Amino acid sequence: MMTPRPRSFIEARYKIRTTGTGSLPTDDDVVRSVAHGLPGTAMPGWADLLRPADILAVVDHLKSLSPRFLREQARPVSAENEFPEQSPSSVARGRAAYERLQCGKCHGIDGRGTGAVATEFVDDWGLPTAATDLTESWTFRGGATPRDVFFRLRTGMAGTPMPSFADASSDPELRDLGAYVVSLARTPVWDMRADELQAFYADRDREARANPVKRGRYLVGTLGCATCHSPLDEERRVLPGMKFAGGLLFVFDPFGRYPTGNLTSDRETGLGSWSDDEIIRAFTLGVLRDGTRLPPAPMDYASYGSLTAADQAAIVAYLRTIPPVRNKVPPPTKTALLRHIWLKFSMFFLGLDPPIVLFAGNVGDTGDQSQEGRR
């Protein structure tokens, strides 16, 4: 469920490189990623914890995982070492290059998606990805200097829709374009004054109201809804084509057995025939369509109930767009009374933790439950 998903070291398709398209990275490229991490991802930097010799050992081990390093050589891109300070003229030339190369089709006319033609992307493995917000330079995976941006433009980012512009532009033009991209950076919220923060969030709120589906997609992703509402295989990977289709089973003593619901727009087994109010009541109050009340965990409806009405409506708007997947999930079942009493006694008087058992696999009508594990 990580976004972005960690790469396969066996394939050795590294995004952050100073080498040509399709080439392996240099050792220095990999050292930098290990030492400084990849901003905007779950990959941290290890320079403060590992000695340089240990980082080199890690790099050697990563290279041993792919046979490509035995039969191929890295092809470094030849570029001038000096990148002049950005100036109004270089930024102006870079803006012209931004327009000529049609960068705004993906990144928007302002670098943050406004007017973008392409808004949904997948990587080479079919996983969803997004065009980088060029105004949030602290999230740039390979760094945010003009030189860093130049190499992303010159080499491309393997496995993503971001191509190399080496054949479409000259190095001087790409250096200017790097200067322009860096100039788009806005002030991060932690450096804003109170009035700037107020204006910033008011602007974001207007955008969210204007595009509730986009806001809902962001909220559903951030809240991790797919983590529980997708059936998994034995290695805890989402079953193909079953994302959001429900069926992951939680045995939550002393309350009962609770399969997660189908959130797709299927009218028979999903939310397709539910009203907006019924959906909101389920994830904010824990009350299902038939009146069944959910326990406060693992479905944290108390927290979701604190969302604004606009955000709750945005979540519904996005769920309506999820393609239908037929997967009939059985209803929850409560624990027998005597066991319920005993388990509560164990919790409150013996101090034992309530067991939560997670069953991977699918308990709907397209498969059987499998792979028991504890969370």
Cα 332 to the chain's mean position, in Å?
A: 30
- The closest alpha carbon to 25, from 177, 174, 151, belongs to 151
Expressed as residue numbers, the domain containing 167 is 88-190
| Distance, C-alpha 182 to centroid of its chain | 23
The answer to whether residue 208 scores a pLDDT higher than 80 is yes
Omega of the bond prior to 212 within 30 degrees of 0, cis?
no
Q: How far apart are CA 363 and CA 149, in angstroms?
A: 47
**Rounded distance between C-alpha atoms, residue 242 and residue 262, angstroms:** 9
Task: Give the whole-angstrom CA distance, residue 101 versus residue 94.
Answer: 10
**In-domain check, residue 99:** yes
pLDDT at 368: 42
Across 224-233, average pLDDT: 89
User: Under 8 Å CB-to-CB from 221, ≥6 apart: which residues?
Assistant: 3
Q: State the pLDDT at residue 137.
A: 95
Number of CB atoms found within 10 A of residue 47's CB = 15
Residue 103 located in a structural domain: yes
Are the beta carbons of 299 and 286 closer than 8 angstroms?
A: yes
Q: Is the pLDDT of residue 370 over 80?
A: no
For the record, the structure tokens of 323 come out as: 């393609």
- 44 contact partners, CB below 8 Å, separation of at least 6: 37
Q: Where are the alpha helices (DSSP H) in the chain?
A: 27-36, 52-64, 68-71, 88-100, 104-107, 146-155, 171-183, 194-210, 212-223, 225-228, 276-285, 301-304, 309-319, 337-348
- Specify whether the CB–CB gap between 230 and 243 falls below 8 A: yes
Residues with Cβ within 8 Å of residue 30, at least 6 apart in sequence: 14, 59, 62, 63
Does residue 66 belong to any structural domain of this protein? no
Residues 344-368 have a mean pLDDT of: 67
Q: Which residue has the tokens 């594990």?
A: 373
In the structure encoding, which two tokens stand for residue 269, read together?
Answer: 């087994």
Q: Are 287 and 293 in contact (CB under 8 A)?
A: yes
pLDDT bucket at 357, cuts 50 / 70 / 90: low
Mean pLDDT of 299-323: 95
Establish if 107 belongs to a structural domain: yes
Summarised one tens digit per residue, pLDDT across range 23-61 is 999 999 999 999 999 999 999 999 999 999 999 999 999
What pLDDT was estimated at residue 243? 93
Question: Is 92 a member of any domain?
Answer: yes
User: Cβ(125)–Cβ(159) under 8 Å?
Assistant: yes
Separation CA 20–CA 78 (nearest Å): 9
Q: Residue 257 pLDDT more than 90?
A: no
User: Residue type at 120?
Assistant: E
- Mean of the per-residue pLDDT values of the chain: 89
How far is it, in rounded angstroms, from Cα 31 to Cα 57?
A: 10
The number of C-alpha atoms within 13 Å of 182 and in the hemisphere containing its C-beta is 24
Angle value at C-alpha 313, between 310 and 315, nearest 5 degrees: 110
Give the CATH number for residue 103.
1.10.760.10
The conformational region for residue 76 under phi > 0 = left, psi -120 to 50 = alpha, else beta, is beta
Q: Is residue 125 part of a domain?
A: yes
DSSP character at residue 26: P
What's the pLDDT at 375? 35
Q: Which of 61-65, 190-194, 349-353 has the lowest mean pLDDT?
A: 349-353
Query: Is residue 102 situated within a structural domain?
Result: yes
The residue among 293, 316, 317 whose CA lies nearest residue 211 is 317
What's the pLDDT score for residue 356? 64
Confidence class for position 355, pLDDT limits 50, 70, 90: low
User: Could you tell me if 131 and 103 are in contact, meaning their C-beta atoms sit under 8 angstroms apart?
Assistant: no
* 245-251 mean pLDDT: 88
How many independent structural domains does the chain possess?
1
Q: Is residue 279 part of a domain?
A: no
- Give pLDDT tens digits for 67-107: 999 999 999 997 666 676 789 999 999 999 999 999 999 99
